Amino acid sequence: MRLIILLTTVFLIADLIADTAIAQQARIPVGSQKTSNLETPLRGMSASDVSEIFGQPASISEAVGEPPIAIWH
């Protein structure tokens, strides 16, 4: 009899804990996922235009691939 009461108590406590551990989901529409006021270079801008508008980069990685693409940091 004590075993049944003990097991019942354990299962009830486990059920209460499981019910409170459910995560909530946040749904964000695709169009509003990125909202930033940070100005970035436009596609097709020349390196000299980017440097003139945004300033010199801290470093530039060596160009790789065809066409050669360098990363500015």
Domain assignments of the chain as residue spans, ordered by start: 46-73
d(CA 20, CA 68): 54
Residues 55/72, Cβ–Cβ less than 8 Å: no
pTM: 0.45
List the single range of 9-18, 27-36, 64-73 with lowest mean pLDDT. 27-36
Average pLDDT in the 39-50 region?
91
pLDDT at residue number 34: 67
